[in-house]
Structure 1
Amino acid sequence: MLLALALATGGWAGSAQAEKADRNKPINIDYDRGGVDFVKQRTEFSGNVVLSKGSMVMRAARMDVRETSDGYQQAYASGEAGKPVTFRQARDVPGEAVEGSADQVEYDSRSDTVRFVGNAVVRRMRGATVADEVVGAVIHYDNRSEVFSIEGGQASPHPAGRGRMVLMPRAAAASEPAASEPALPLQTSPGLQQPRKPS
């Protein structure tokens, strides 16, 4: 099952986007080992690979970075047993960030999209608090529009391969009556009648 979710849904601010300034920042990669293939314009990195681009940080055991003919970059990151690929990027909302993890993560700088594949979990963080969470086999995140596409399946971390979405309440405190206000007694609606007793 494929589900599209805009961040505007359930209180994810539609006007707020991933850090806009990140788009024009250079990509930096730190690693233990790497090798370059100049013919195919690709480089393979391994050993504690960290890719950063402004506030965006992706960490993986291995990463393959390719440059397209028109100068954009594509990164294909994979984790290892017990250590998935992690992703984090600040949003334009102060104190908020998008964090995610998966067996594999793919980043495309041209479309500014991130694809989480296998045991995928993505959260919107408000400081250290999880504001919202989506879980699935594959989660596709568009940084520009802040829309998620979520697929369930065998590689979902949720039992039975199901997708899952958790949207936290936004104004729970505002909707609850104040402690000083007395509770109103229940009243019978005038339209309701008492059941007749059998004669």
Structure 2
Amino acid sequence: MIALSVMVAHPAHAEKADQDKPVILEAEKVSVNDVKQVYDLNGQVLLIKGSIIVTGEDGRITVDPQGYEFVDVIGTPNAVASFRQRREGPADEFMQGRGEQVTYDAKTEFLTLTGDATLKRLLNMQMLDQLKGWKIEYDDVKQHYQVTPPKDAKPEALPLARAILSPRRKATLEK
């Protein structure tokens, strides 16, 4: 199996103010279990928490005892699931991704996009980094991307993972 793994050296992290924002949920149907802290969403899902925006067709949000959300949203063939989050820092920098399924763990700041997935890092609406593959994992704490092809991928079908990474300024790399 071939996997692309990239460590990224830039100082921005997920927007910390997002942690204290309320969760806004919209869907055609919302089922709430306050005891278990589980929210099931069906039909045109929209989740907003601070700068985080997640969309899809169906989803589930689980809240742990510390108040951190685990989000799992799936799309449809006509409308994929998507994720967008502003990053900490002086400029308008965003992480934006899409795929058949989006999972995000707010506690660990770990994003997984599965199924014909793409992930972009944007600065002032200009693309800096772009990843494509069957599965993309992004660890915001460690600043690490990993792109993985499907388990049944054949070597002759290469490239199964692709990354376009912008050069980092020397000042960004030295900390």
Q: Secondary structure at the match of 1:23?
A: helix
Q: Where has structure 1 moved over 6 Å in runs of 4 or more?
A: none
Number of residues of Structure 1 aligned to a counterpart in Structure 2: 164
1:28 matched to 2:29? The reply is no
CA distance, structure 1, for counterparts of residue 152 and residue 129 of structure 2: 21
CA distance, structure 2, for counterparts of residue 25 and residue 39 of structure 1: 21
1:97 matched to 2:94? The reply is yes
CA distance, structure 2, for counterparts of residue 137 and residue 15 of structure 1: 27
Q: Which residue of 1 aligns with 2:157?
A: 160
CA distance, structure 2, for counterparts of residue 154 and residue 82 of structure 1: 24
Q: Secondary structure at the match of 1:21?
A: helix
Q: State the Cα distance separating 1:155 from its structure 2 match.
A: 9.2
Q: State the Cα distance separating 1:77 from its structure 2 match.
A: 0.1
Letter in 2 for 1:17: H
* Percent of aligned pairs sharing the same letter: 28
Deviations 1:73-123, CA, capped at 9 Å, x for gaps: 211100011211111111223122111000000111221211111111000
Alignment of 1:1-199 (within 5 A): 1-8=2-9, 14-38=10-34, 40-93=36-89, 94-153=91-150, 160=157, 162-168=160-166
Q: State the Cα distance separating 1:150 from its structure 2 match.
A: 1.4
Deviations 1:11-34, CA, capped at 9 Å, x for gaps: xxx212222222332322122211
Letter in 1 for 2:121: R
Q: Which one scores higher on RCO, CA 8 angstroms, separation ≥ 6?
A: 2
Pick closer, same or farther for the CA change 1:49–1:170 going to 2, 3 Å: same
Letter in 2 for 1:99: Q
CA distance, structure 2, for counterparts of residue 108 and residue 170 of structure 1: 27
CA distance, structure 2, for counterparts of residue 69 and residue 52 of structure 1: 20
Letter in 1 for 2:71: A
- State the Cα RMSD in Å: 2.4
CA distance, structure 1, for counterparts of residue 8 and residue 129 of structure 2: 10
Letter in 1 for 2:164: V
Normalising to structure 2: TM-score of the pair? Answer: 0.81
Select the structure that is richer in strand: 2
Letter in 1 for 2:165: L
CA distance, structure 2, for counterparts of residue 98 and residue 48 of structure 1: 22
Normalising to structure 1: TM-score of the pair? Answer: 0.72
When structure 1 is superposed on structure 2, of 123-132 and 33-42 the one drifting more is 33-42
